Structure 1
Amino acid sequence: MFDYSSIALSYDSDPTGADSLLPENRAVYFRLKRVLDILCALVFLPVMIVIGIVLLALNPFFNQGPLLYVQKRMGRNCRAFPAIKFRTMRTATQIVRGADDPLEVHRITRLGWLLRKTRLDELPQILNVLRGDMSMIGPRPDYFHHARRYARVIPGYRARHLVRPGISGLAQVELGYAAGIDATAAKVAADLHYIRHAGYRLDTLIFWRTLVTVVTGRGT
């Protein structure tokens, strides 16, 4: 596991922080990475379609309700975008969980647990990648209204939005699911580490560890 204890960047109070976090060589890498994102998304698009068809057949028995779930999340430059997922929870009229509340595990369906453990619930975000909202690898996007709270209280939170959010990321494979202010602060430190050190080697490592999670079902 990486050591993030020395990372304490406050983008809110240091307007020059963005330049030191994302030097030109990293900025160039993130621009070139867009081509790889599109190619990778096109490769996985048929997989997403097949899994979607299987879920359509299984949902009436194990996960009643719509196939997809769309949630407003905070993306690049702190702008909102609609993130697409395979639904894993029973439908609700509105989100009542606060920014520092634990996950509503009582709402997760039997099939939803499997999707979350294997991270296959995130697969429809391939469409977000093709739209340009997301990258294959990058900081995981938070629910927009929670993210606005985090941006006010967590140092460096805004800086993690200098790049496109990812379907998977360093914080996700290192720390797992983050719920609440403290866990999100640790996630931010990992995300800033990723932005500073992003490259083909680190992205390949994250991609590999994500595949291992899909195969072994060790996600949360």
Structure 2
Amino acid sequence: MIRLFKHYIPHAVLLLGLIDLVLLYVAGEAAWHVRAHQLAIDVAPPSERIASLGVFVGTLLLAMISVGVYGSDALRSTRFALARILVAVSLGVIALTFIDFVARGLDFWRSTLIYTMFIAIALLLVNRLIVGGLLGTGAFRRRVLVLGAGRRALRLRDLAERPNSGFVIVGYVAMSTADPVIKEAIARSAINDLNNFVQNLGPSEVVLALEERRNALPLKDLLRIKTAGVHVNDFSSFLERETGRVDLDTLNPSWLIFSDGFSSARMVSSIAKRAFDIAASGVLLLLTFPIILLFALLVKIDSRGPAFFRQTRVGLYGEPFELIKLRSMRTDAEKDGAKWAQKDDPRVTRIGRLIRKVRIDELPQAWSVLKGEMSFVGPRPERPHFVTDLEGQLPYYAERHMVKPGITGWAQINYPYGASIEDARHKLEYDLYYAKNYTPFLDLLILLQTLRVILWNEGAR
């Protein structure tokens, strides 16, 4: 994997994205030539179209990221990838048509965009067929040697066997005399020189998956392996990188303290984040004000009670604030006490189902963003009652409040809507990853991927 702004991107995804970038440029240029040939006019040199081609490539690439073209499902299924590419290119062309209307200096021809759409779809699909075939052979998977043969090693094996895994395990070494869970593991006592053993296997990385590290770390061996040019990683850091979440089962305070993350440079990032929140929330409220009013009226007509729903939530540093949303439930929804929302929740009104499905009920939260109580991106703000319960049952739950809560977030786009302690635990692992590795780049990825969640109704409840 390649680390970009503290966030890991698989080599396969990066390679695919770079090839797509070139192909989109080719598609844009080819469409100009086709249209110019039809009109029997001369084609100016590409240097004169650099601005329009740059906007075209950038817009379509952002659309592809937004709808999940580079997700694990699209990487392993050509049919799935084609469906996402069709949606992405269609949305991109619609956006470019709007840009053409607003910024006429870029000289987009609508007829050219139609040609570009079909050429781009064809080239992108061919790229998936060729490069996707290579990805299927495991050519881009890293070779990993696991030091350990217990339950942690078993978890790594399960992770490696997933279709979207970015690594393959080339061997296991049982570092203790305990009964190994991984039966094919080689006993450390059977290996004369661990460094030579590693060099002969040729892994790119060695992962330490010991059940008990106290007085068991093979420091001399690890030092020789490291100085021989093989990357050495501990179990928790490896899982964080491969899964995009912090593993609570193996987390300890020392790892959080000494591992990379919670950078002091986030002060600059926080200023940029706040500036974006003010600008974006102001524009969003102006643009969606008529929509909010329309649905507020529909909510009032559909069921008795106020159009807007106000509720106390826990924000930055555990401070309470009042959240406002369009009401989607009956006014007596919590007459028996606070409850998590369930699938097909009977408390949801008819209009409530619609506005939840398309996320319109979330729009008034932009007011909380404008006031500074929330951000566009961050952990989901929970109610004080649930927070008290979860802090007592889940370790490190309070640490998620070290960043502002958000309308969307890393957990929201990576994990379906949860309504149990186990779901809250999984979402906490993603929230901790976000709090630890926050950058404006990660925020941008989350905002783009939120479109995928909305389009395919992932996580709505």
Given the two structures, how large is their TM-score scaled by the length of structure 2? 0.43
Paired letter, 1:47: L
Would the alpha carbon gap of residues 64 and 106 (structure 1) be closer, same or farther in structure 2, given more than 3 Å must change?
same
> Are 1:141 and 2:381 an aligned pair?
yes
**Residues 9 and 155, structure 1, Cα contact 8 Å, conserved in 2:** no
Correspondence 1:194 to 2:434: yes
- Is this contact kept in 2: 1:102–1:179, CA < 8 A? yes
Q: CA deviation at 1:120?
A: 1.7
Choose which of 90, 100, 103 in structure 1 pairs with 2:342. Answer: 103
How far, CA to CA, are the matches of 2:439 and 2:406 in structure 1? 14
Q: Which moved more, 1:57-66 or 1:80-89?
A: 57-66
Structure 1 residues 102-135: Cα deviation after superposition (integer angstroms, max 9, x where no partner): 5381100111111111222111111111111100
Counterparts of 2:363 and 2:293 in 1: how far apart (Å)?
13
2:404 pairs with 1:164: yes
**Structure 2 unmatched runs, 5+:** 1-71, 73-241
Aligned equivalents of 2:269, 2:421: Cα separation in 1:
30
**Higher relative contact order, chain-length normalized (CA < 8 Å, sep 6+):** 1
Q: Which moved more, 1:61-70 or 1:187-196?
A: 61-70
Q: 438, 447, 450: which one pairs with 1:210?
A: 450
Residue 302 of structure 2 contacts residue 350 of structure 2 at CA under 8 Å; is this kept in 1?
yes
> C-alpha offsets along residues 3-62 of structure 1, whole Å, 9 cap, x if unaligned?
156533999x84995796522123432233111111110110123311221113322443
User: Please, what TM-score do these two structures have when normalized by structure 1?
Assistant: 0.86
Q: 2:392 aligns with which of 124, 135, 152?
A: 152
The question of 1:42 aligning with 2:282 is answered yes
How do 1:94-133 and structure 2 match up within 5 A? Answer: 94=334, 96-97=336-337, 103=342, 105-133=345-373
Q: Any runs of at least 4 consecutive aligned residues in structure 1 with deviations exceeding 6 A, and if so which? A: none
Partner Cα separation in structure 1 for residue 306 and residue 257 of structure 2: 40
Measure the CA separation in 1 of the matches of 2:290 and 2:254. Answer: 46
Contact persistence 1:137–1:166 (CA under 8 A): yes
Report the residue type matching 1:192 in the other structure: L
Kindly provide the amino acid, as one letter, of the partner of residue 265 in structure 2: N
Report if the CA contact (8 A) 2:379-2:409 is conserved.
yes
Give 1:146's aligned amino acid. F
User: How has the CA–CA distance of structure 1 residues 166 and 214 changed in structure 2, closer, same or farther, with 3 Å as cutoff?
Assistant: same
Structure 1 match to 2:297: 57
Q: Name the counterpart of 1:86.
A: 326
Does the 8 Å CA contact 1:137/1:169 hold for their aligned counterparts? yes
* Structure 1 residues 123-162: Cα deviation after superposition (integer angstroms, max 9, x where no partner): 1111111111100100010111111111111112100000
Aligned residue pairs, count: 218
With over 3 angstroms needed to count, the CA separation of the structure-2 counterparts of 1:156 and 1:4, relative to structure 1, is farther
On the 8 A contact 2:296/2:308 being kept in 1, the answer is: no
Percent identity over the alignment is 32
Q: In structure 1, give the amino acid aligned to 2:382.
A: D
**Equivalent position of 1:182 in the other structure:** 422
SS of corresponding position for 2:403: coil
Whether the 8 Å CA contact 1:118–1:216 is kept in 2: the answer is: no
